[in-house]
Amino acid sequence: MFRTIDSFNVRGKRVLVRADLNVPAADGVVTDTTRIERSAATLIDLARRGARVILVSHFGRPKAADPAFSLKLLVEPLSQALGQPVRWVDDCIGRATQRAVASLRDGEVALLENLRFYPGEEANDPAFARELAALADLYVDDAFSCSHRAHASIEAVAHLLPSAAGRLMQAELEALGKALEKPEKPVAAIVGGSKISTKLDLLGNLVAKVDYLIIGGGMANTFLFAEGKPVGASLCERDLADTARAILEKARAAQCHVVLPVDVVVADKLAPGAETEVVGIDAVPEGKMILDAGPASAETIIDRLGGCNTLVWNGPLGAFEVAPFDAATNAVARWVAERTGQGRLLSVAGGGDTVSALDKAGVVDQLSYVSTAGGAFLEWLEGKTLPGVAALGGAA
Q: Which residue lies nearest ligand 3PG, judged by its C-beta?
A: 22
User: What x-and-dash track marks residues 331-370 binding ligand 3PG by CB under 6 A?
Assistant: ----------------------------------------
By CB under 6 A, what part of segment 21-50 binds ligand 3PG?
22
**371 touching ligand 3PG, by CB under 6 A:** no
Beta-sheet strands, E only, within 142-287: 163-165, 187-191, 212-215, 257-259, 263-267, 276-280
**Which of 61/105 has CB closer to ligand 3PG?**
61
Is residue 193 part of the annotated active site? The answer reads: no
Q: How far apart are CA 319 and CA 358, in angstroms?
A: 13
Query: Is residue 352 within a helix (H) or strand (E), and if so which, with residue range?
Result: helix 352-360
122: alpha, beta or left, given left = phi > 0 and alpha = psi -120 to 50? alpha
From 232, 341, 352, 374, active-site residue: 352
From 3, 72, 130, 195, active-site residue: 195
**230 touching ligand 3PG, by CB under 6 A:** no
Specify whether the CB–CB gap between 126 and 156 falls below 8 A. Answer: yes
Say if residue 85 is preceded by a cis peptide, omega within 30 of 0. Answer: no
Binding residues for substrate: 20-22, 35, 58-61, 116, 149
**126 touching ligand 3PG, by CB under 6 A:** no
**Which of 22/205 has CB closer to ligand 3PG?**
22
Is residue 294 part of the annotated active site? The answer reads: no
| Burial per residue of 347-379, b for 16 or more beta-carbon CB atoms within 10 angstroms, e otherwise | bbbbbebbbebbebbebbebbbbbbbbbebbbb
Out of 50, 204, 375, 383, the residue judged to bind ligand 3PG by CB under 6 A: 375
Binding residues for ATP: 199, 321, 351-354
Out of 5, 20, 128, 387, the residue judged to bind ligand 3PG by CB under 6 A: 20
Q: In the bound complex, what is the minimum distance in angstroms from residue 48's beta carbon to ligand 3PG? A: 26
How would you write 310-331 as a 3-class SS string?
A: EEEEECCCCCCCCCCCCHHHHH
Say if residue 230 is preceded by a cis peptide, omega within 30 of 0. Answer: no
**Which of 230/375 has CB closer to ligand 3PG?**
375
Q: CA-CA distances (angstroms) from residue 322 to 5, 150, 292, 334? A: 43, 37, 10, 18
Specify whether the CB–CB gap between 308 and 324 falls below 8 A. Answer: no
Q: How far apart are CA 129 and CA 123, in angstroms?
A: 10
Q: In the bound complex, what is the minimum distance in angstroms from residue 84's beta carbon to ligand 3PG? A: 25
**374 touching ligand 3PG, by CB under 6 A:** yes
By CB under 6 A, what part of segment 188-227 binds ligand 3PG?
none
**Which of 157/301 has CB closer to ligand 3PG?**
157
Q: How far apart are CA 28 and CA 39, in angstroms?
A: 20
- CA torsion angle 330 333 335 337 (round to 10): -130
Number of residues assigned to the chain: 396
Bridging pattern class, strands 14-18 and 138-141 = parallel
Is residue 50 part of the annotated active site? The answer reads: no
Q: In the bound complex, what is the minimum distance in angstroms from residue 375's beta carbon to ligand 3PG? A: 5
**149 touching ligand 3PG, by CB under 6 A:** yes
Specify whether the CB–CB gap between 186 and 211 falls below 8 A. Answer: yes
From 35, 167, 229, 339, active-site residue: 35
Is residue 12 part of the annotated active site? The answer reads: no
Q: How many residues bind ligand 3PG (CB under 6 A)?
A: 8
**Which of 19/305 has CB closer to ligand 3PG?**
19
141-149, 162-170, 210-218, 237-245 -> range binding ligand 3PG (CB under 6 A) = 141-149
Active site residues: 35, 195, 352, 375
List contacts with ligand 3PG (CB under 6 A).
Answer: 20, 22, 61, 145-146, 149, 374-375
